[in-house]
Amino acid sequence: MIVKWEPYWYELDQCIVVGDIDLFYLRKDNLYFANGLNSELYEREVKAEIWKITHPELGDIRGIITIGLDYSIYLSDETVITVNAEENPGEIYGSHYVVSEWCFDVQIHIIEKTGLTAIERKRMYNHNEQKKRWQERVRKYKDLLGLSKADWES
């Protein structure tokens, strides 16, 4: 199934990386990944695998990391595009790429529909468990992208 991923910026978007199997939040219509501050009002959680990410101007994408004030977009040719997500959302730093619209097609395979919201999922874990889960995700993203160190790692 193809789901649209469109940034809301300001670190309010889900990271997506080809090969990742994780919990993701989709809008109830299944057409878009949920994002933004009020996404729990119209989201549903699914366990899914990211099979492919494409963009009409950038081509095949290996992953989009939405951690911090800048987003990192990993292209299939190993190029990394850094995009401002805070002061001038959508502005690309030091690159010849020009993007007119930030909407990506993401092919996913849904493994399970859990029916939970992000808020409900978060309440299932205490602070230390949440921190550990986040560290595991960061490690997984680095492995999938073939990175030993990343600027967005914290």
Amino acid identity of residue 86, one-letter, is E
Three-state DSSP state, 130? helix
pLDDT for 151 = 83
Query: Could you list the pLDDT tens digit for every one of the 154 residues in the chain?
Result: 999 999 999 999 999 999 999 999 998 888 999 987 766 667 889 999 999 999 999 999 999 999 989 999 999 999 999 999 999 999 999 889 989 999 999 999 999 999 888 888 889 999 999 999 999 999 999 999 999 988 887 6
What distance in Å separates the CA atoms of residue 89 and residue 75, rounded to the nearest whole number? 19
For the question of whether the overall pTM of this predicted structure is more than 0.75, the answer is: yes
